[in-house]
Amino acid sequence: MSDLESIGRDILQELEEAWNDASGERFGRPFSADAEFVDIRGEHHRGQDAIAGGHQGIFDTIYLGSRVRFQLLQARSLAETVALLHSTADLDVPSGPLAGTLRSIQSLVLRREEAGWKVASFHNTLRA
């Protein structure tokens, strides 16, 4: 496993654990302060605080009690301090308007910062 694959798996694990614990604050931690996030509805969130707050909102409402599983598909370097990841997610939603299993694919751009690798961009797309 390459270093980037290991970094990617660690970031996805951190996101998965935060989601499954319904912690928006922890979900936001792997993101850079100026991160961009496009959710499965096509809404664009800017900044770590907006990403964390937006996720807390869905953890408390439409995705209450949900569980996610991320899987890394690939990780590759784009430059010395920039990497591209692709992953999938299976989201089990127990009740409400989105009950069932939602499957999606993500593109993540990582940027190496002073504090380590952070998610600079995350684009989430539902799979048919």
Mean pLDDT of the chain: 96
Q: Domain count for the chain, please give it.
A: 1
Is the per-residue pLDDT at 71 higher than 90? yes
Residue 1 scores a pLDDT above 70: no
Q: Which domain holds residue 36?
A: 3-126
Average pLDDT over residues 49-63: 97
Question: Comparing 31 with 115, which gets the higher pLDDT?
Answer: 31
| CATH number for 22 | 3.10.450.50
- The reported pTM is 0.96
Please state, in angstroms and rounded to a whole number, the distance separating the CA atoms of residues 106 and 93: 18
Tell me the mean pLDDT in the region 93-119.
96
Comparing CA positions, the residue from 68, 80, 69, 70 lying closest to residue 3 is 80
